């Protein structure tokens, strides 16, 4: 056997091991999804406890612009089955000129029986007061948005929920149950440091004709949707006369819906089932303020390097990063807190995100931002990501089966290109069916607690008034193929060909130490940020811009 043949066979064995590993991980994820999303979850324990034993929860919701169904998503916070006097809701916006600000005022008025408050970043005394300074925090717009709400939180439990997320009525109790280790049998389970939810995107726009009744009446014309002079939402006011135009202007929502209900859901569920590494997204996360305050204080956490300058603690610690959700989870995951487990995914409850009017270009931009923001935080996972996608992973499998002698000798697998092509098609077909059943299970809404206040996009396809199901050949397969074909080009562009991201109206340069610098800052500030560094949460060096405290 020649050296080249040995190399080819060695590569085949590596491909076999990798593809087998990916198939096993997918199987774990799919099994967990079917086990947890096939029935209504049990009522939570926490709300039924004596009042003095029910922990107070501060819900913080950062808001930026008019997201689809914004009012319904934020209103879900006020429909939770949790003692009213044990909930505090903080709605956060950067400035009063934000188009979402009137919606927040309306919510505060409609639910004035709650402990609810609207925070405006431009009124934060830390940033704009007589003793404050705009550079007291780093450039991360989300951290700047929620900083005051976090500092003024009531109680110890913080629940951060993005503004475009809808949550079910029993979610708060089950999140607290998981965090505290409360069980239905009355026994005390092991509490967690951090709990979170599986996100699910629901596209509310029809690509094949006029909007469906559910989308038109309940989603597209909601009180939170920006409208044109003719009364239609602005994202339907574009020139959508042809099918191609509709796909170009609105198809990104289907691609995002597909990604979140297949590839992302399978691996997110699998990794959090095994619990070998922190795997979170910042959609709906709950943790203890006391833990984060302690672990971000060098005086109390010896694993953090000492700082010569004053250093903010708590959530402000991460203001120089754009990937704060992962860094918070990673810090809690790595830190030793006796008696507590690391991360707990609340299986069955979904963080539902409605979307509408997302163009294909917007979807690509969103995926590029995700990858660039996270590539230096989880670099190994980022580098191997193309290998977990269907088209490439199935090619690995087909190459291995038609190259390794054992399969030819024992099973008679031909060692030809034609055989490799047929095996690739067969494994892709199996992958398609796994994704189809996983997608249908997640979007069916079997685990959703539906009542008269549940909006149509959150009901699922199996409940009355819910979103219509996707046709397998006309809608689902085109979206699946589009998502899979775009995966590798998006990864290549994001990981290998750039380091800037556009987020919340700002452009950032993501540096190798995971810090970010505002791209449109004056050159002198950029140079200052590059030349002055302070230790990062995992021991690296991160930048500081001008007098910004970090």
Q: Are 285 and 325 in contact (CB under 8 A)?
A: yes
Helices (H) and strands (E) in the chain, counts: 19, 12
What would the two tokens of residue 340 be?
């507590």
The yes-or-no verdict on residue 184 having pLDDT over 70 is yes
pLDDT at residue 537, rounded to an integer: 43
Amino acid 253: pLDDT:
96
**Where does residue 347 rank: exposed (0-12), middle (13-18), buried (19+ CB within 10 A)?**
buried
CA distance 218 to 226: 14
CA atoms within 13 A on the CB side of 42: 10
To 5 degrees, how large is the angle CA 485–CA 486–CA 487?
A: 95
Is residue 29 very low, low, confident or very high in pLDDT (cuts 50, 70, 90)? very high
Q: Are 240 and 231 in contact (CB under 8 A)?
A: no
DSSP class per residue in 72-118: HHHHGGGG-SS-GGGEEEEEEES-TTSTTHHHHHHHHHHTTTSEEEE
C-alpha distance from residue 161 to each of 90, 196, 285, 312, 519 (Å): 10, 10, 7, 22, 27
Task: State pLDDT tens for residues 224-241.
Answer: 333 333 333 444 445 667
Catalytically active residues are 325
For residue 256 the two structure tokens come to: 């995002």
Q: Model confidence over 299-331: pLDDT tens digits?
A: 899 888 666 566 789 999 999 888 899 999 999
Angle, helices 390-401/477-491, rounded to nearest 10 degrees = 90
| Tokens found for residue 64 | 């930026």
Say if residue 89's pLDDT is above 80.
yes
Confidence band (pLDDT; 50, 70, 90) for 2?
confident
Task: Indicate whether 211 pLDDT > 50.
Answer: no
Give me the sign of the Cα torsion angle 181, 182, 183, 185: positive
pLDDT of 193-208, one tens digit each?
999 999 999 999 887 6
How far CA 294 is from CA of 301, 302, 316, 335, 457, in Å, comes to 7, 10, 13, 11, 40
Which pTM was predicted?
Answer: 0.89
Token duo for residue 60: 């913080």
> pLDDT value at position 233?
40
Which whole number is the average pLDDT over 270-275? 95
Short-list 484, 443, 488, CA closest to 466: 443
Q: Does the pLDDT of residue 522 top 60, yes or no?
A: no
End-to-end CA distance of the chain: 60
Distances (CA, A) of 372 to 191, 474, 545: 33, 33, 21
Q: Give the CATH superfamily of 38-208+244-361.
A: Spore Coat Polysaccharide Biosynthesis Protein SpsA; Chain A (3.90.550.10)
- Distance separating alpha carbons of residues 177 and 181, to the nearest angstrom: 6
- Mean pLDDT, to the nearest integer, of 74-95? 97
- Token pair, residue 370, equals 């995700």
Could you tell me if 194 and 178 are in contact, meaning their C-beta atoms sit under 8 angstroms apart? no
Residues of each domain in the chain carrying CATH 3.90.550.10: 38-208+244-361
Q: Would you say residue 269 has pLDDT above 70?
A: yes
CA-closest candidate to residue 355, choices 80, 128, 70? 70
Q: What percent of the chain has pLDDT over 90?
A: 74
């Amino acid at each position: 056997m020649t050296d080249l043949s040995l190399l080819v066979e060695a590569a085949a064995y590596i491909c076999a091991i990798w593809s087998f590993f990916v198939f096993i991980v997918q199987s774990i994820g799919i099994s967990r999804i079917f086990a947890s999303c096939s029935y209504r979850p049990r009522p939570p324990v926490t709300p039924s406890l004596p009042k003095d034993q029910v922990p107070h929860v501060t819900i913080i919701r950062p808001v930026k612009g008019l997201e689809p169904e914004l009012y319904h998503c934020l209103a879900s916070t006020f429909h939770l089955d949790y003692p009213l006097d044990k909930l505090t809701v903080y709605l956060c916006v950067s400035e009063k000129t934000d188009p979402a600000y009137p919606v927040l005022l309306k919510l505060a008025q409609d639910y004035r029986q709650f402990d609810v408050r609207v925070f405006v970043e431009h009124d934060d005394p830390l940033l704009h007061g007589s003793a404050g300074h705009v550079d007291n925090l780093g450039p991360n717009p989300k951290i700047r948005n929620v900083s005051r709400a976090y500092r003024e939180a009531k109680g110890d439990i913080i629940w951060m929920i993005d503004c475009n997320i809808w949550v079910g009525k029993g979610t708060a109790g089950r999140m607290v149950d998981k965090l505290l280790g409360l069980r239905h049998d009355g026994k005390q389970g092991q509490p967690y440091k951090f709990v979170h939810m599986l996100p699910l995107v629901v596209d509310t726009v029809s690509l094949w004709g006029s909007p469906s009744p559910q989308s038109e009446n309940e989603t597209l014309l909601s009180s939170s949707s920006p409208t044109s002079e003719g009364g239609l939402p602005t994202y339907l006011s574009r020139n959508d006369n042809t099918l191609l135009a509709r796909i170009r202007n609105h198809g990104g929502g289907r691609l995002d819906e597909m990604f979140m209900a297949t590839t992302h859901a399978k691996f997110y569920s699998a990794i959090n089932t095994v619990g070998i590494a922190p795997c979170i997204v910042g959609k709906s996360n709950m943790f203890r303020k006391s833990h984060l305050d302690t672990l971000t204080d060098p005086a109390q956490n010896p694993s953090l390097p000492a700082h010569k300058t004053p250093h903010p603690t708590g959530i402000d610690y991460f203001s120089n990063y754009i990937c704060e959700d992962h860094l918070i989870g990673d810090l809690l995951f790595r830190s030793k807190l006796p008696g507590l487990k690391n991360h707990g995914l609340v299986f069955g409850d979904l963080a539902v995100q409605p979307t509408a009017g997302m163009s294909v270009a917007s979807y690509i931009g969103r995926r590029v931002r995700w990858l660039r923001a996270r590539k230096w935080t989880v670099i190994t996972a980022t580098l191997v990501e193309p290998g977990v996608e269907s088209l490439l992973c199935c090619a690995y499998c087909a190459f291995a089966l038609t190259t390794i002698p054992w399969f030819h000798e024992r099973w008679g697998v031909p060692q030809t290109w034609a055989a490799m092509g047929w095996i690739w098609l067969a494994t892709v077909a199996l992958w398609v069916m796994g994704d189809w059943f996983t997608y249908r299970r997640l979007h069916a809404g079997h685990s959703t607690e539906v009542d008269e206040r549940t909006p149509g996009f959150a009901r699922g396809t199996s409940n009355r008034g819910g979103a219509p199901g996707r046709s397998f050949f006309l809608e689902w397969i085109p979206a699946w193929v589009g998502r899979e074909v775009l995966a590798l080009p998006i990864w290549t562009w994001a990981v290998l060909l750039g380091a800037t991201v556009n987020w919340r109206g700002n452009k950032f340069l993501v540096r190798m130490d995971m810090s970010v610098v505002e791209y449109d800052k004056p050159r002198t500030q950029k140079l200052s940020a590059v030349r002055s560094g302070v230790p990062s949460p995992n021991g690296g060096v991160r930048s500081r811009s001008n007098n910004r405290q970090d």
